[in-house]
């Protein structure tokens, strides 16, 4: 009985270690494939895409999980700013293009080009470079 | 008996690896759908290429001739906190109504010797670099 239990525990351990190794290998391979553009991969991060969409929709509340923690006062000020922008200066995004990016260690950089039309009808075409660390956008330029 | 045991362990490990890959595939969601149109990519503008080549070659003299002082200040800010550039990589360029954006990723070391990566974009108009973001 003890022998069977030991055999089962050992087998489960081997299986779990294998699963962990498989998960890590798949993650590393995914990053390599994204960065190198193999198999048609654009390399775009889901985190930065969500960040850009929230930004263009003037919706800071949906960025909460993908950027560093802020104090309640900072969050309130940001929501206030977004409300004012929505009411006074509506923007119309014309295009959102992922230009590319790269990863070094735990840091990755993703660059976008944004084309938008302001309420006054002026077109603006500008880039944004987002730095991601630990699954969050830690820098925006 | 021992060989059978070793083979069984190896097989279990292989099954585990496969399971890990499957779990990763299920958990790794791609980016959300882009509701806005994306601009087509274009070739790297020559003027931007020259500027980035000077950065990559650590050639301050050429860089000083290629862009003016205000753009050098902007470029310095864009490269922070990297002070020792190791690699430069062109990642893409797009154009909208004659305005070109050419994007680059630079890796290097910070003052503390930490490996870092930054991205910056050169604005190009009429075959001349006119701005840095």
Question: What residues 47-76 of chain B have any CB closer than 8 A to a CB of chain A?
Answer: none
pLDDT of residue A36: 57
Contact A99, A114 (CB under 8 A): no
Put simply, the answer to whether B20 touches A99 (Cβ < 8 Å) is no
Write out chain B residues lying below 8 Å of A107, CB-based.
Answer: 116-117
Please give the C-alpha separations between residue B87 and each of A69, A128, B54, in angstroms, as whole numbers.
32, 21, 12
Q: Name the architecture of domain A44-140.
A: Roll (3.10)
Put simply, the answer to whether A102 touches B117 (Cβ < 8 Å) is yes
Put simply, the answer to whether A99 touches B25 (Cβ < 8 Å) is no
A56: nearest CA partner in chain B = B36
Q: Where are the domains of chain A?
A: 1-41, 44-140
Does residue A74 carry a pLDDT above 90? no
The secondary structure of chain B as a DSSP string is -HHHHHHHHHHHHHHHHHHHHHHHHHH---PPP--S--PPB-PPPHHHHHHHHHHHTT-HHHHHHHS-HHHHHHHHHHHTTEEEEEEEEEEEEEEETTEEEEEEEEEEEETT--EEEEEEEEEEETTEEEEE-
> Pairing relation of β-strands B82-96 and A136-140?
unpaired
Write out chain B residues lying below 8 Å of A91, CB-based.
Answer: none
Task: Give the closest of B39, B96, B118 to A109, CB-based.
Answer: B118
Write out chain A residues lying below 8 Å of B121, CB-based.
Answer: 99, 111, 113, 127, 129
- Select from B16, B44, B107, B116 the residue whose CB has the most chain A CBs within 10 Å, as the one to mutate to test that interface: B16
Task: Return left, alpha or beta for B128; rule: phi > 0 is left, psi -120 to 50 is alpha, else beta.
Answer: beta
Please state the φ and ψ torsions of residue B42, each to the nearest 5 degrees: -125, 175
Write out chain B residues lying below 8 Å of A105, CB-based.
Answer: 115
Per DSSP, the three-state class of A133 is: strand
How far apart are the C-alpha atoms of A36 and A42, rounded to whole Å? Answer: 9
pLDDT of residue A110: 93
Tens-level pLDDT at each residue, chain B (133 residues): 678 888 888 888 888 888 888 887 777 767 778 888 899 999 999 999 999 999 999 999 999 999 999 999 999 999 988 999 999 999 999 998 888 999 999 999 988 888 889 999 999 998 899 999 8
Instruction: Return the minimum-mean-pLDDT range out of A46-50, A54-58, A86-90, B46-50.
Output: A86-90
Write out chain B residues lying below 8 Å of A24, CB-based.
Answer: 20
User: Quick one: what percent of chain A has pLDDT higher than 70?
Assistant: 77
Q: In terms of Cα–Cα distance, which of A109, A105, A104 is closest to A43?
A: A109
């Amino acid at each position: 009985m003890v022998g069977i239990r030991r055999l089962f525990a050992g087998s489960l351990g081997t299986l779990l270690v294998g699963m962990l190794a498989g998960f890590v290998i798949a993650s590393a391979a995914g990053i390599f494939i994204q960065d190198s553009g193999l198999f048609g991969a654009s390399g775009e991060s889901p985190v930065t895409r969500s960040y850009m969409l929230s930004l263009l929709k003037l919706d800071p509340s949906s960025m909460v999980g993908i950027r560093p923690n802020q104090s309640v006062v900072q969050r309130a000020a940001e929501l206030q700013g977004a409300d004012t922008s929505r009411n006074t200066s509506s923007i119309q995004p014309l295009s959102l293009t992922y230009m590319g990016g790269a990863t070094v260690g735990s840091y990755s950089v993703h660059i976008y080009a944004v084309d938008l039309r302001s309420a006054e009808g002026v077109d603006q075409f500008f880039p944004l470079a987002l730095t991601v660390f630990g699954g969050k956008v830690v820098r925006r330029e | 008996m021992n060989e059978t045991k070793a083979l069984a362990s190896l097989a279990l490990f292989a099954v585990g690896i496969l399971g890990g890959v499957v779990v990763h595939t299920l958990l790794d969601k791609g980016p959300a759908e882009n509701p806005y149109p994306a601009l087509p990519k274009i070739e790297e503008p020559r003027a931007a290429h020259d500027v980035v080549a000077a950065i990559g070659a650590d050639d301050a003299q050429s860089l000083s001739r290629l862009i003016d002082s205000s753009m050098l200040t902007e470029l310095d800010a864009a490269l922070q906190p990297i002070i020792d550039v190791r690699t430069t990589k062109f990642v893409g360029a797009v154009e909208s109504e004659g305005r070109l954006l050419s994007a680059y990723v630079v890796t290097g070391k910070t003052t503390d010797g930490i490996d870092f990566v930054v991205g910056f974009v050169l604005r190009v108009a009429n075959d001349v670099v006119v701005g840095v973001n």
